Structure 1
Amino acid sequence: MLGDVFQCFVRKSPLAVMARLVMQRALSPQWLDEIFEQHRDKQYTRELLFSTVVELMTLVALGLRPSLHAAAQASDGLAVSLTALYDKVNHTEPEVGRALVQGSAEQVAVVVKSMKVQQEPWAGGYRVRVLDGNHMAASDKRLKRLRGFRGAALPGQSLAPNALCAVRGI
């Protein structure tokens, strides 16, 4: 029965299925915990796995939960205190984060490269980079000295290159 349901999704929305499978592979709990164990220095695993922290942070990053606190409260199987969770997040070593980004980029690079083979160039003769940005509404939360200047920087504006492109130079 599951095979028929899965095939229905493959026929109706193959891109969504492919994206889900790529993300499952790139962020599998076993792989995340291996990355943590290989690259940690002072941190350790007692009851809270690194994969659990990544799962909760993913809920926040995708906007499914407004905060780490809300994600932890909605989690039914979190066996540690909020203090322990925040300590794990706040003390995550840079080497672990670096290995996580590089390793996941390497895992999805195969899929991205195969998609590029089928894709026509966006602008012939030019190297195109994908940028992602965000613009939040203006507010009075600017730095006090900048509030009177119309052209002053607004809070919540960001422009960042696609992480995969930045890591792999694609």
Structure 2
Amino acid sequence: MLLRQEIPADREAIHAVHLAAFVKLSVPVVEAKLVDELRDDGDLIAGLSIVAERDGEVVGHVCCSPGWIGEDGKSAVGLGPLGVLPEYHASGIGSALVHAVVGAADALGYGAVVLLGDPRYYSRFGFVLAEQHGITPPVAEWAQHFQVRTLRAHDPGLQGTFRYSPAFDRL
């Protein structure tokens, strides 16, 4: 398996990965649309849009977009969506993508990665409920699934409500 930065030729394959990964969870598949809109808005962070490739085929994708904590905190990114083709679930691809994007975010100097997801899955990567760091979700009902992974550049004084890139508000 090869993990690499997304290139323009990957666009259709990435869309297909998210359609296949999430079709059982929601129709229409908002995750596929979200990635397209983040890209169209210029909010996919180039070094944090990573594909997993196996035998020349894109089989997984993860991305991050700019996020804000509090009124003017700009050192965080929102992770998601993360998608893997169903036939590759439980093969380690999702874990590899999360490790890669968290490591890249740290290397790029971001202070935190924030996501909405299952704590049983994401805790293995060092994510904790965001409220432990004084970070609240944009929708209060998300609190039990709203998580953060602090990185080396994290400022513990940066607290408040997390805001995702505008494409998330259009879902």
Q: Which band: TM-score by shorter chain?
A: under 0.3
Q: Which has the higher contact order (CA 8 A, sep 6+)?
A: 2
Q: TM-score if structure 1 supplies the norm length?
A: 0.27
Higher strand proportion: 2
Q: TM-score if structure 2 supplies the norm length?
A: 0.27
Higher helix proportion: 1
